[in-house]
Chains A and B, each alone.
Chain A
Amino acid sequence: MAKYVVKRILQSILVLLGVSIIVFLIMRVFSSDPAPVVLGEHATTEAMEAWRESNGLNDPIIVQYFNFLGGALTGDLGTSYYTHTAVTQEIMSRFPATIELALVAIIIAAVLGVVLGVVSAVHKGSFVDGFSMILALVGVSMPIFWLGILLIILFAGVLHVLPSGGRIDPLLQPVGGTGFYLLDTLLSGDFEAFGNALQHIILPAVALSMYSMAIITRMTRSSMLDTLNEDYVRTARAKGLPEGRVTKHHALRNAMLPVTTVIGLQLGSLLGGAMLTETVFAWPGIGKYTVECILKSDFPVVQGVVLLIGVIFVIINLVVDIIYAYLDPRIKYSKEEG
């Protein structure tokens, strides 16, 4: 087990190194010169040259990469071309908003997905099964930004029951704390602000969760159907155990193994989906910020965000793999071969 964990960690470090190379190649090698965009079309050639020099863009590409990598390893991702603030600071001030949104979304997706998947498998062919399969199909077919727009039109435009965007009423915004508004407002006992933050997060979280929920529902259903046909489940039934007990103790436990992996992986991909959801709901997280920075060629920020999301994604993968290997010892042997 220890050998497997060490091997996976070493692999992850290599992958991260590769991610830094990919990010760097895209932003610094393939892309066009950011100087005219940042300084404006009317900037003089000398001004642009001086700007490039001061931002280290005239150094040989390999030197630029090692500067970037060295900085990243010490927590320095450079400064924004526009605000001249440290990229790490820009990211950290917006990160809690994105994490809060992604966590609420994954909770919605996991709870609804697993429940719908299990009920569908147990009552295969029933109305619930049909309904959840249609929901799962529509969930993976609908652009999340369009779902977000429909939710806004319905709940904010027609019914006027939920806000169309933002994270909290500015007057109720908690000061200091963790940056997770739901947690901060709850800890400080300010239930009015908590309710307000909750109202703001519902629509974006539902929109963001839809795709993952669809994937988790399908995965749970097919995994449950597989285990329900296993010999040990037949044995459990044959020895006269009640069906509920068979489902819960024998089938569900085993079916949850692959589902856990999928839930973990979905958390990572939610960070990608957050870029679209945050843009639709004016959610002040890193997704929306990154889109803005991409549109104005603020490359250090984009590099930093992509690298950070890559790191999170790799860590989630690593943790999921290790948990999986721990739960199911067969995995580590087959993976060591592959």
Chain B
Amino acid sequence: MAADSIAMQSPQDLGEDPQTDPSQTPPEVAPADEKADSLWRDFWYAFRGNKMAVVSLVLIGVLVVVAIVTALFPSVLPYDPYQQDLSASFQEPSLAHLCGTDQQGRDIFSRILVGTQVSLTVGLLAVSISLVVGVTLGAIAGYKGGVVDTIIMRCMDMMLAIPSILLAIAFMAALGKGIDKAVVAIGLVSIPEYARIVRSQILSVKENDYVAAARVIGDSDAAIIFRHVLPNVLPSIIVRATLGISGAILDCAALGFLGLGVQPPQAEWGDMLGRGRNFIFSAPYTMIFPGLAITITVLAFNLLGDGLRDAVDPKSRRR
């Protein structure tokens, strides 16, 4: 826990604007700003030293650009990802079709590029759901304690008792296909992880003097949680959320692979893999490239998460 307490003392580590936190010293007092700046610099210095993390950040930036550009200007794609041309089906990778074509003659490379939109959207939105709900529940449980804590955490235990992918699959089976439903299913199943992290961190933070001081001057429970306690647990939550995005992208691909993800003809990496299964030996490229796209994206978020953790947690940095 020593590492966590070091990380907790520096909420600004992650570039939090000190002005958004009214509990901080007013911004016109120069030393606080300088301190925040130096903490931010420390964090950036540590993060920058981790080459893999920087590479992953650049890679994620590229993926985001690809997703946005292909959504706004589909004409930049080499081929129409939805245009079927049965006379061009199963063409091996070549200069004309970098990753080959699928059963319907659609260009796999173009479909992979478009698929970035689905994976990133599901990853970000699903994590947002689990983050908001999980952090709120965990904060209430940890701060309130007693019966409230018991009820919330036992509910979380119940959800954790079912493997998350199985739970997500069951949700999808009940809700039906579609990206929106995948976001909800994947978001719901990760709520307990965030609730647990936040609760345990809050239990250790809430005994600090500044929380007692806030209570003495009459701050409401909500104000104490949001102004004093949550900013201190933010670094560990951001690290978890970054890793959570990679988990959500994997779950999304798994749902797609099982035929429970997007509606056709939408391009989604897991769905592309699932459709290539019948041609595994005759056209392995229909499965190799979409899988590679999933792995690289997930790897990038995992590396970024590891880099962030090392940067906010000096103990793990030394390893």
Contacts and interface: CB of A to CB of B under 8 A. Distances in A.
Interface string A292-311: 00110100001000100110
Contacts of B157: 11, 15, 18
Interface stretch (A72-80, A136-144, A187-195): A136-144
Contacts of B254: 143, 145, 276
B169 interface: yes
Contact of B154 (A11, A150, A269, A271): A11
Given A149-B287, A291-B169, A30 B174 contact: yes
Contacts of A21: 158
B298 interface: yes
Contacts of B22: none
18 contacts: A15-B157, A18-B161, A22-B159, A142-B298, A143-B254, A143-B270, A143-B295, A146-B291, A149-B291, A153-B284, A269-B163, A271-B166, A273-B163, A276-B258, A279-B258, A302-B170, A309-B166, A317-B161
Q: Which secondary structure dominates where chain B touches chain A? A: helix
A30 B175 contact: yes
Interface string B276-295: 01001100100110010011
- Among B203, B253, B257, B288, chain A packs the most CB atoms within 10 A around the CB of B257
B165 A273 contact: yes
A145 B276 CA distance: 12
- From A30, A141, A156, name the one whose CB has the most chain B CB atoms within 10 angstroms: A141
A141 B259 CA distance: 21
Interface in A270-291: 271-273, 275-276, 279-280, 290-291
Given A146-B273, A222-B319, A302-B170, A272 B258 contact: no
A19 interface: yes
A150 B291 contact: yes
Contacts of B281: 153, 156-157
A54 interface: no
A178 interface: no
A225 interface: yes
A268 B163 contact: yes
Nearest to A273: B165
A172 interface: no
A32 to B, nearest CB: 7
Nearest to A156: B281
B155 interface: yes
A26 interface: yes
Interface string B29-53: 0000000000000000000000000
Interface residues of B, number: 46
A140 B288 CA distance: 18
A72 B169 CA distance: 22
Given A146-B273, A291-B169, A19 B299 contact: no
Contact of B294 (A27, A143, A157): A143
Contacts of B173: 27, 31, 294-295, 297, 302
Interface string B217-247: 0000000000000000000000000000010
A314 interface: yes
A149 B273 contact: yes
A24 B306 CA distance: 38
A119 to B, nearest CB: 15
Contacts of A142: 291, 294-295, 298
Contacts of B277: 149, 280
A219 interface: no
Contacts of B175: 30-31
A19 B158 contact: yes
A313 interface: yes
Contact of A141 (B166, B171, B280, B299): B299
Contacts of A124: 319
B257 A294 contact: no
A153 B165 contact: no
B295 A306 contact: no
Contact of B161 (A150, A291, A302, A314): A314
Contacts of B159: 22
Contacts of A236: none
A48 to B, nearest CB: 19
A145 B257 contact: yes
A152 interface: yes
B302 interface: yes
Given A153-B281, A313-B163, A314-B161, A294 B295 contact: no
A15 B154 contact: yes
A14 interface: yes
Contact of A295 (B257, B259, B302): B259
B166 A272 contact: yes
A280 B257 CA distance: 10
A5 interface: no
A143 B291 contact: yes
B259 A137 contact: no
Contacts of B246: 140-141
Interface string B302-319: 110010000000000001
A259 to B, nearest CB: 17
A327 to B, nearest CB: 20
B61 to A, nearest CB: 18
A137 B302 contact: yes
A152 B282 CA distance: 13
B123 to A, nearest CB: 13
Contacts of B253: 143
Given A124-B319, A153-B280, 16 more contacts: A19-B162, A26-B171, A142-B295, A145-B257, A146-B295, A150-B291, A153-B284, A164-B280, A272-B163, A273-B163, A273-B165, A275-B258, A276-B257, A295-B260, A309-B163, A313-B163
Nearest to B274: A145
